[in-house]
Structure formats: structure tokens, C-alpha cells
Structure 1
Amino acid sequence: MRIDIIDRVETFHRLRDNWNAVYDADADAQLFLSWEWLAGWLPNLSTPWVILAARDDQPEDAPYVAFFPLRFEVKADAAGHLTNELKMAGSYAADYTGLIARPDAEARAIAAFVRQIRQLHWASFSVDNFRGSALRFRQLLAHFSQATFVATPLNRVNAHDQVDNAICPYAQLPPDWNAYLDTLSANTRQKIRRLLKLVDCGDAYHITHTTAATVQNDLRTLLKFWEARWRSRKGDSVEALVRSNFFMLLRSFERGLLHLPVLWHGDRPLAALATLMDARKRAFLFYITGRDETFDGPPPGLILHGHSIRHAIANGFTRYDFLRGNERYKYSFGVSEERLHCHVIATRDHRNLGGKLDPHAVAGALKLATERHQAGKLAEAEIGYRQILETAPRDDNTLHRFGQLLATKGDHRAAKRIFARLIEVRPDTFKPRLCLGQSCEALGQFSEAADAYREVARLQPDAPGIAGLLSRALLRAGRNEEALRLVASGAAAQPPIDGIPLPQDMPSASPRPPHTTAPTRAIPA
């Protein structure tokens, strides 16, 4: 079986029909692995993602029979050494993760997936919130040998309230609303009927469904209530969670995946409940709710869940999924349970497989190294830059920043070598040659510096101050006639580049001592 790596949105879009065929055939498939949800999620990820796509070797154009969406993160230890963490692509917005496969190809596809995963470069693989059969998960873990890897189960019990977030209650829905109510206790059944009658009459209370005109306001209302409830628990992460949920739910609405009823008392919003709709699997997935904690009246949560379940049944849905967490209130809705699989697989030496960063994670690694560089943590930044160049030796941004770091340290000989490599990669840009000239000046190699500055002038004739830098280098190289001709032309009167001072005494031909350090440039913000 052959594995192709899909890492471009355009390619993923072309897979829609093939993806949906596999999705429909897989009994374990769920919304967060659907083409529709991923099409709104993947293009907006801030970390690189890949989809492993499995198909038979023959014929050459055989359709794919399984897909495994993953993403990369970059981590740094205290010394600055960078490693890659492989995650499920939906984390952390998706309550469920996993893979999809045709039943007749599942075992072969999983074996091929793991062979490919072991060729990627990572130190840990977080297989978290994996929804699928116990057999599927065992097949996945079985291909990671204990000689190389350590597989550790993750505890998903919340220490604050003892909620087990690996348990997922769900209600199987019959085709008739009254038949569903008959599955509930008499007390819950009577309460739901009474509360829904309260909103159905539309006197004091009523429910609206979000539209294109109201979706942003409705989401803000929902998330404002949610934030007020959870800020004390979520702490500094609450703003990022609100922002992430807003955009994920907005994109879901745009793709026809969001059911969002809002409960009102007159003109006052009391609560909102966001549910994701999987039309292919006929499932409602309750995602997030928020209510006005100052309201003292009928229970908004019970009203909105009852309303949503009734709406789901009326529209032919067969499953109402409460997603992760075995909170007590969910069990009043006549639910069964499903358990998620949560493990982390790590290399025994805690280093990336193959000893290198994964090429897909270079941008994230550069971001971390640059942050350390800007913070003045030069030793940590240097480790990161060197790791990146082992994987991507021609990455121009890394070469530029690493050269600047070496120049800042005063290692101009090494900086010169890096800038020379950068010129090979970017021969038509002037900045690498400017940096090369500065390093050559710092080494007392004034003739080479002059040649570099002359190339800057050729590539960027109006570069401010370049004539002055060239004149200075020519004088210090003893090429006085060239320098004086340049001065006589008036070009050397231009303002300096990025604050680099021009020589005040141009006629002087006395060279700067070789050990003098030339100014260095700040790394870009």
C-alpha cells in the first residue's frame, strides 16, 4: 500500500469526493474528520499540517482508501534544543480525533500509516481524544515497537471536579419526539415538556436560531457568557480560547455545520447553545454553551438541550452527542457512553527520529529561534538555527538571521561563511552582500568588503549610504584612486544605511586596524 503526503489546501480540496466516500463507509467516522469541517479548519491552522493518504499500489490512479490528518508543533527544552511534536490535526478544537478508512482496508492502511509516521521526524506523538474501536486503536499502537518508543496512557480526569473527559455520553434518537421522551425518567420528561411549552407559546420567553445576519452577535453573546463562567478556571488562556472558538464556529456556520439557538426573555438574551451538525452521519454534536449567570428563572440549559434534541429528531438526525466529559446533567437525557483513547508515544531518547527537525516544521522552528534571538538568548537561538540548517540548509531567512547572530557574537569569520551561502541562495538581493561586506570589514578584509559593497550598488543603486560604505572600504583597502573618484562623483554624500555612519575624513587613506569590529544590523522584527 502506498502513502501520499497531502500538505497543500488545493490538493485537499480536490479530494472531496474520495474523502466523502471513505467517510461514509467508515462506521467510526465523525464530524471532526469530515471533509467539510477540516476544510474550514486546516487552512487556518498556525502550525503545519499533513494528511497521510493511503491507496493500493495498483492501479496507479486507484482511489484512496484511508486518511489520517496530523499536524506538527515545535518545542524547545531549557537549553534551546528543538524537537517536533506530532499531533492530531483537529487538536485542540476537535473533541474527537482519529483516522478514517474503508473497513476492508483498515488494517493494511494503519500499518502503512505507521511506517510513514516513523519516517517523519518527531520526538513525541500525541494520540489524544482518538475516537474509534478498541481494535483500531490497538492496531495503531502495535506498530510502535517498545524498543524504540514508550507509549503512555493519558489521564483525562479533571482534578477540579473529577469529570472524566475521556468519557463521551450520547443519546440514540428514535424517529419520533414522544418516543424519545419515553426513554427519560418521568420527572425529566414532564420538566422538558413544561419548559418547551413555556418557550413555544412565545409570551415571556422565546428561542431564535442564528442566521447570516445574526451569527456574529449570537456567537459573541454565547462566548461572553462562557467566558464569565470559565475565566476563573481557564486563567490567561481564556482570551485565546474565546478567539479560537469564535472563528471555528463562524467557519462552521459558513459551511452549514452550526445549529445555534438563543434563549431570550423579552429582549434579554439568557443563553445560547452551539451544536455542530453532521448531515452525513445524522448526528448532532453539542459543542459549547453559555448562559447569563445572573438570571434566576427556568433552567436555560435544559430548555436549549430539549429544544435542540427535538429539532434534531424533526430533521431526521439519529444521534445527539454530548462530546467529552461525564458531567452529571448529561445523564438525564437518556444517554449511553463511549470512551476515547488517549496516549502519547515518545522516542526513548526524547530526540526527533532521524536526529533532525521535520521539514514541515521549519517555519515554526525559525519562529522559536528568532524569538530567542530577539530576547538576547543567543546560545539558545544558535542551537535552533543550526538545527534548522541541518534540515533546510538553503533556508534564506535562517541563513540571514544566523549570520546576524554570529556577527553580533563577534564571530565574523563564521558569519562571512553564512552570508556567502546566503548569496548563493539569493544572488539577486542586495542585503546578503551588505552583510557580507560588514563581516569582511570586521575581519580587515577591506578589498573583499569593497567588492561586496560594489555589488550592493549594482543591485540596488539607490540604496542609501552605499557609496559612503564603498568609499570607506576602498580607502582602507588602499584603493585610493577608486575611492576619490567615487567621492568626486558626489555619490558618497548620500545618507547612511540603517544608521551606519559614513566616514567623516574621506581623504584619509590610513586603514582601520584589522581587529576593529564593524557595526552589526538588528534582526528583523
Structure 2
Amino acid sequence: MGFSWIGRVEEVSAPEWDAVLRRSARPSPFLSRRFLVPWATAFAAGRETMAFRWERGGGAAGFLFLCRRADGAGWELLGGERVADSLDAVVIAGQEREFWSGFLRESRGLLAGGSTLRLPNLVEGTPSLHLLPELCGRFGYSFRLEETDRSPLLSLPGDFGEYLERLGKKKRHELRRKLRRADDTVPGLSFRITPGGPELDRDLSSFLVLHRSSQSEKERFMDEGMERFFREIAGRFSEAGQLRLAFLSDGETDVASAFQLEWNGSLLLYNSGYDPQYRRISPGLVLLARCIEEAIGRGGREYDFLRGGERYKYDLGGVDRVVYRATVGLP
């Protein structure tokens, strides 16, 4: 059993990284090479990055991917707080206590001089939230936990009819009403999924237009650098068969789109957008209802709405999980 530092995230062994992630308690696409390597290129340029590698039984059993914070006040999990919806250490399930104990023993120098380690976007139930308060106390570190967001999750039943029944009378009635109104108002309304292939570049451009047009905040978010990042991860997840780019169309143009990732039996809603001219038919909600129906048809276990407490997520049956930011330091 040993601990070592790897200077750049790109230098981490791909087979080791993938193997440990597959065996972790809560595998996440935001902890994968397909997401974190492009993130480091797009958002950590000029900042120091490193990976803490833990070996056990002759092979890698855990990783912690870090980068210098932009404000220079310490370190944070690679992926940051803005675009990675679920972060943590990547550790084989059941070995998290040993991993964090080893990290805290070995990394006092990392946090010397007032530096802190910030762990954003820890979603309720992740092992670190349970272990770190106790272990930080044992090894002489300070630990602070802040609630930062919500991340609604929907468990999927075996068929769409059962899903509607689970919504309850009021939500079920309202969803059915909106689905009927959309079909009646826009004849020929259609749903499609683009997993990749030659249509990806065209359809990703359509998603970006809809995303930017739906809200001024989203237009500011999707600047040129963010667009390059989205295009890069779309290509990588598409190559792995894990991209589910969804659209609602009126027969001529796309009116709503959802950028989804398929991961470990779950479908994750990473981002979305719609044409405001079609606001009267609730195109975003109608599209997501079709996405949920499609996910059920494919045998999905969960629909993960990811961060954000927008009302539509609860209207579609999402159940709250709290998202936290932890900060570790030396007293």
C-alpha cells in the first residue's frame, strides 16, 4: 500500500482510472477522463494540477484529482464548482476510509501556510460526507461544510404508465394537459435522439442555439470557451455511446433540446434549452417527459436532473438531494 503524486491529470493511467471509477461507490461521468481531461484543458490552463494516487494490493485503488484554485488560496477538486455537477474522490467502494486516512496523513504540506482544500459539489450520500468530519478531527484538520444547492433525482419504474401514476393526481393531470396542449397547438410535433454519428455536429449546433436563446443567463454562460468545452465532451461521450442529445421539433425547426449523458443505468440531464417563441406549449417540460419515457423504455434505473432546484424538476417527480461544499484546512 502506497501513496504518490502524479504531476498532470493527463499522465494518469487511463486503464487504472477507468477501472477504479467503475468499482467506486457512486461512479459519475464528472469524475471520468472524458470529462475531467477536457475540463483541465478548458478551465485550468496555467494552474497547477495533480492527482493523488493510492495503491493497494499491487494496483491503483483510489485517486484524488486536484488543481490550484483560481484565487490562489489553495486547492480544489478538478472539475470545479461551475460545470461539474457531482464530484468526490475516485475510490474502490468500501475502501474510502483507508484512502482518506492515507491522504490526510500524507498531505499536511499541501495545506501549509493557510492553504485550504475545497471539495465542491458533494452530493448527499457520497462517502466523503460521512467520513471526512470524523477523520479530519482525528488527524488535526479543520472541516467546514456548507449547503450550496439541490440535485433532484427520479427513480424510474418499469413503464411510463406507472411513472404517471407515481406523480400523484395533481402533477399527473398537469403533465397530461401540457402534453395534449403541445400536440394540439403544434401539429406534427416530434421527438428524436442524436447519440452521435454524422448528425452530431449539426444537432449540437442546434442545441447551442436553443440553449443561448432560452435565457439571458444561459447566453452569458455559453461563451466561446464553454462552447468549445461542450463540443469536446460531446464528442468524447458520443464515441463511448454515452451521449443522448434530445430534441423536440415542429417538423421544420427544433424547438427544445436536452444535453443528456447515459451512465451506469442512469440518464443525466446536463443542460437544456428551448425557443422562447414556443413558450406557450412548455417545450422544455414536454421534451423532458419524452426523455423520461424513452429512458424507461431503455430500462433505465434513474433520471438525474442534476444541480438546480428549478420547479419543473419537481413537477416531473424529482426528489431532493442536498449538494454541499466541504473545506479542509489546518487550524
The alignment's TM-score, normalised by the length of structure 2, stands at 0.82
In structure 2, what is the equivalent of residue 513 of structure 1?
Answer: none
In structure 1, what is the equivalent of residue 298 of structure 2?
Answer: 315
- CA distances 1:218-269 after superposition (whole Å, capped 9, x unpaired): 23213322453556xxxxxx25x53354233222221223322232334343
Counterpart check, 1:267 vs 2:266:
no
Give the aligned residue type for 2:3. Answer: I
Give matches, 1:183-262, under 5 Å. 183-193=166-176, 203-210=187-194, 211-228=199-216, 230=218, 238=220, 241-255=222-236, 256=238, 257-262=242-247
Q: Percent identity?
A: 22
Q: Which protein shows a greater Rg?
A: 1
1:113 CA displacement: 1.8
Contact persistence 1:9–1:43 (CA under 8 A): no
Give matches, 1:86-97, under 5 Å. 86-91=75-80, 92-97=82-87
In structure 2, what is the equivalent of residue 127 of structure 1?
Answer: 119
Counterpart check, 1:140 vs 2:132:
yes
Distance in 1 of aligned mates of 2:202 and 2:99: 44
Give matches, 1:333-372, under 5 Å. 333-348=316-331
CA spacing shift, 1:88–1:37, aligned 2, 3 Å: same
- CA distances 1:281-328 after superposition (whole Å, capped 9, x unpaired): 211111222223343421112111101111212222211111122333
CA spacing shift, 1:227–1:313, aligned 2, 3 Å: same
Give matches, 1:54-203, under 5 Å. 54-56=54-56, 62-75=58-71, 83-91=72-80, 92-121=82-111, 123-131=115-123, 133=125, 136-145=128-137, 149-156=141-148, 165=149, 167-193=150-176, 203=187
In structure 1, what is the equivalent of residue 21 of structure 2?
Answer: 23
- CA distances 1:475-500 after superposition (whole Å, capped 9, x unpaired): xxxxxxxxxxxxxxxxxxxxxxxxxx
CA spacing shift, 1:144–1:276, aligned 2, 3 Å: same
CA spacing shift, 1:247–1:214, aligned 2, 3 Å: same
Q: Which runs of 4+ in 1 moved over 6 A?
A: none
1:131 CA displacement: 2.8
Q: What secondary structure does 1:277 align onto?
A: strand
1:181 CA displacement: 2.1
CA spacing shift, 1:24–1:132, aligned 2, 3 Å: farther
Give the aligned residue type for 2:55. Answer: R
Could you list the runs of 5+ residues in structure 1 that have no partner in the other structure?
76-82, 157-164, 232-237, 349-525
Contact persistence 1:215–1:250 (CA under 8 A): no
Distance in 1 of aligned mates of 2:133 and 2:7: 24
Give the strand-richer structure, 1 or 2: 2
Distance in 2 of aligned mates of 1:346 and 1:192: 47
In structure 2, what is the equivalent of residue 53 of structure 1?
Answer: 53
In structure 2, what is the equivalent of residue 7 of structure 1?
Answer: 7
Contact persistence 2:188–2:250 (CA under 8 A): yes
CA spacing shift, 1:143–1:187, aligned 2, 3 Å: closer
Distance in 1 of aligned mates of 2:210 and 2:50: 32
- Higher RCO, Cα 8 Å, sep 6+: 2
Distance in 1 of aligned mates of 2:257 and 2:267: 16
Give the aligned residue type for 2:202. Answer: T
CA spacing shift, 1:74–1:10, aligned 2, 3 Å: closer
Q: What secondary structure does 2:284 align onto?
A: helix
CA spacing shift, 1:228–1:262, aligned 2, 3 Å: farther
- CA distances 1:336-388 after superposition (whole Å, capped 9, x unpaired): 2222232223445xxxxxxxxxxxxxxxxxxxxxxxxxxxxxxxxxxxxxxxx
In structure 2, what is the equivalent of residue 361 of structure 1?
Answer: none
- Number of matched residues? 317
- CA distances 1:140-195 after superposition (whole Å, capped 9, x unpaired): 24343599754333352xxxxxxxx1x21100112322222221123443554565
1:32 CA displacement: 0.9
- CA distances 1:97-117 after superposition (whole Å, capped 9, x unpaired): 111222332211111122333
Contact persistence 2:207–2:272 (CA under 8 A): no
Contact persistence 2:214–2:276 (CA under 8 A): no
> Please, which moves more after superposition, 298-307 or 178-187?
178-187
CA spacing shift, 1:132–1:50, aligned 2, 3 Å: farther
Contact persistence 1:199–1:206 (CA under 8 A): no
Counterpart check, 1:300 vs 2:283:
yes
CA spacing shift, 1:73–1:243, aligned 2, 3 Å: same
Distance in 2 of aligned mates of 1:289 and 1:173: 20
Give matches, 1:272-291, under 5 Å. 272-278=257-263, 281-291=264-274
CA spacing shift, 1:305–1:200, aligned 2, 3 Å: farther
Distance in 2 of aligned mates of 1:207 and 1:133: 34
Distance in 2 of aligned mates of 1:319 and 1:245: 27
Indicate the RMSD between aligned Cα atoms, in angstroms: 3.0
Distance in 2 of aligned mates of 1:203 and 1:10: 49
Q: What secondary structure does 1:179 align onto?
A: helix
Q: What secondary structure does 1:108 align onto?
A: helix
Contact persistence 1:169–1:336 (CA under 8 A): yes
Give matches, 1:400-411, under 5 Å. none
Give matches, 1:434-473, under 5 Å. none
Distance in 1 of aligned mates of 2:233 and 2:183: 27
Could you list the runs of 5+ residues in structure 2 that have no partner in the other structure?
none
The alignment's TM-score, normalised by the length of structure 1, stands at 0.54
Distance in 2 of aligned mates of 1:195 and 1:317: 24
